[in-house]
Structure 1
């Protein structure tokens, strides 16, 4: 795949989008950091009040995979379908960051938080800290940049590996997260809960 990397204006726009997302999340009343008062590089206990509060956790691979997927979509739109004559391909990363930032804002609305609580095993989920949301955007960005530098078959293999790793480790992954959020299946919920 040809690289869809940003120019300096697009890099500026990318950072500006992250700042705007952080400001919106703060305005929504999201905690800047974990209520525990610390910022950890890694927190690996899914069923805890500190999940989705730190820089990385077991859901970080899902956000990395978002980046792999978004790079593929950008490549498909700009290179294969020649969207806009292929010229604005340098804006692919800021567009991906915009999509991920929009998801982080929506994910932290009361409606989506309540949905997670109602249909997934995230019974005590209270939303992300701003640090975690911004880190999730960062993980997506890293996935996007990795996809820009490796052959497509390696991106696919990496996405499958991360899905299987988190499925095995925490009984959850990007695929199950989407299924359970939009089309909840009680048997999956019981399996995820260890039943």
Structure 2
């Protein structure tokens, strides 16, 4: 007969797993040769330029809302698949997905795909800082989705998508579309910014 771990110990364990996954993401990105911070030598809270050398290099940028939306989506997926699991286990699941994406996104194959199929012509991958913060923002989106009514999460996701569409002519929806099935008319429209 086994004795179940106290709830606080189980929660701590799963939060430790989520943190360990983030650390593993950073270590793997370092092993891949990603730069720790922007090669400019400093760290900014927000990089407003989209097709600049600072994009995807600092703490946040115009793609940060997409990572928050990842958190919304991963919360829904974890709720569907792991409803009986503790909240922190579901968060660890979300961090695992985001960390895997961040590693894949910074692989030469995906970087080349971004350069060839999307508006990110000069994209050279994320700094380790930016990639780690993308995962942190995903986790914040996950936590937000867990605390508010579904309609609020959906409304905020739509607002983020419309805001970034208006400001930078890109968003999570277009980013996924252009990676999977590039549309030349959309790329032309985005390049006109």
Per the normalisation by structure 2, the TM-score is 0.93
RMSD of the TM alignment (CA)?
1.2
The alpha-carbon deviation at position 76 of structure 1 amounts to 1.7
Question: Which residue of structure 2 lines up, in the alignment, with residue 21 of structure 1?
Answer: 25
Q: Distance in 2 between matches of 1:90 and 1:49?
A: 36
Question: Which residue of structure 1 lines up, in the alignment, with residue 15 of structure 2?
Answer: 11
Q: Distance in 1 between matches of 2:85 and 2:177?
A: 36
Note the 1:94-113 alignment, pairs <5 A: 94-113=92-111
The alpha-carbon deviation at position 169 of structure 1 amounts to 0.5
Cα offsets for 1:141-189 (capped at 9, x unmatched) = 0000000000011111110000000000000000000000010000000
Q: 1:58 aligns with which of 53, 57, 62?
A: 62
Q: 2:48 aligns with which of 44, 50, 53?
A: 44
Higher relative CO (Cα under 8 Å, sequence separation at least 6) belongs to 1
Any stretches of 5+ residues in structure 1 without a counterpart?
A: 1-5, 80-85
Question: Which residue of structure 2 lines up, in the alignment, with residue 185 of structure 1?
Answer: 183
The alpha-carbon deviation at position 89 of structure 1 amounts to 4.8
Cα separation, partners in 2 of 1:194 and 1:91, compared to 1, 3 Å:
same
Aligned residue pairs total: 184
The alpha-carbon deviation at position 7 of structure 1 amounts to 1.2
Q: Distance in 2 between matches of 1:116 and 1:78?
A: 32
Question: Which residue of structure 2 lines up, in the alignment, with residue 150 of structure 1?
Answer: 148
Name segments (4+ residues, structure 1) moved above 3 Å. Answer: 87-90
Maintained 8 Å contact 2:106/2:126: yes
Maintained 8 Å contact 2:67/2:134: yes
Q: 2:75 aligns with which of 59, 64, 71?
A: 71
SS at match of 1:70: helix
Question: Which residue of structure 2 lines up, in the alignment, with residue 3 of structure 1?
Answer: none
Cα offsets for 1:8-30 (capped at 9, x unmatched) = 11111111111110000000000
Any stretches of 5+ residues in structure 2 without a counterpart?
A: 1-9
